[in-house]
Amino acid sequence: MCDRKGDPVNDSAALELPGDQAGSRDDRNIDPKREAGNMTRYYAACCQTDFPCPTDRSAYPERVAKCIGMIENAVVGYEPFFDVKLVVFPEFVHAAPIYSTVDELIDRLAVPVPNEFTDLYAATAKRLGVHIVAGTFLEIDPAQPGHVFNTSCLIGPDGLLMKYRKVQPWLPWEIHTSPASLTNDPRELFPVVETELGKIGVGVCYDWLFPEVIRGLAVNGAEVLVRVSAYMDPWGATPPLDWWTLFNRVRAVESMAHVVACNQAASLANYPPFSWPGGSMIVDFDGRILSQADPGPGEKIVVGPVDLDAQRAERERRRGHRLLSHRFDSFYTG
């Protein structure tokens, strides 16, 4: 694993769901504020993409340059209106696992993490004062030879803070390794990092259909749950199924956490054999959709608020519907 600038949150403390006495839901019209170096109200941006599917690593420099341009558009363009402080990209933004063997993925697409591209994201995060969830990389790790991981990175102004390896590959198409086959340490499987934007955890696409995965992040203290996804039709953001919206809202309620969910929006021509309906969204801790991109392929940026003051106050105040603290842990072991 990479060196982390932020430390995973102690899970025993996370179950207490501590509140923030400084804010309330009645003063949302005040400017976003910092307390002890923390920003408790800010905006998140989902940058959904429609890029051609690369066949080798030579496409990465241009791909990353386009993503950095989208970050600048989100942060600078919306600056007169919002403080965009968290920017999220979809799964497979750099490459999809298009080959049928691990050896081919290693030979043509996989990269170590960190790498020169995460360094470019880190420089952008520092220059703009933001945190970036850089979609996913197909990752190789010298400590785990012969394996490829589907890995998302949380990058801040001080560099790479955390990497999350997808626990639930989308079988049978995704042939990369689940870290759960190599470790059973919940702090390694479900890392959560404390940042000035709150305690952030990341889950990738299919992970979100498994309550155990997102619950693992919540138990480890996550206040903001980021979904990095490539969720295709017909299960994406369109009726009659619309699993995309269903699971985003349910996981927000289960965890009493904000959800920032960025979905792939590639056309069938760019990322066959599926079409990808986008519909990226920001959801609050009660499951309310605060903003959402219209479903359909195409590059789009959607921004929405994250109000940790309100979330922490409600976590502290409520005696009903406190799902984390009402659990009977003994029912869920074994």
Domain with residue 213: its CATH number is: 3.60.110.10
Say what the pTM is.
0.87
CB-CB contact of 83 with 39 (8 Å): yes
Which has the closest alpha carbon to 246: 279, 276, 293, 268? 279
Instruction: Give the dihedral sign, CA 31/282/91/213.
Output: positive
First to last CA, the chain: 27
For the chain, what is the domain count?
1
* pLDDT for 332: 62
* pLDDT for 37: 59
CB-CB contact of 93 with 150 (8 Å): no
Asked if residue 52 belongs to a domain, the reply is yes
Which has the closest alpha carbon to 311: 333, 332, 282? 282
Q: Is residue 199 scored above 90 in pLDDT?
A: yes
Asked if residue 233 belongs to a domain, the reply is yes
| Res. 321 pLDDT band, cuts 50 70 90 | confident
If you average pLDDT over residues 210-226, what whole number do you get?
96
105: containing domain: 40-332
Which has the closest alpha carbon to 176: 151, 208, 211? 151
The percent of residues in the chain predicted with pLDDT above 90, rounded, is 76
How confident is the prediction for the chain on average, in pLDDT?
Answer: 88
- Furthest-apart CA atoms within the chain: distance in Å: 56
If you average pLDDT over residues 192-202, what whole number do you get?
98
Asked if residue 11 belongs to a domain, the reply is no
pLDDT tens digits along 68-121? 999 999 999 999 999 999 999 999 999 999 999 999 999 999 999 999 999 999
| Res. 206 pLDDT band, cuts 50 70 90 | very high
Asked if residue 20 belongs to a domain, the reply is no
Asked if residue 1 belongs to a domain, the reply is no
Q: Is residue 198 scored above 50 in pLDDT?
A: yes
252, two tokens: 């927000």
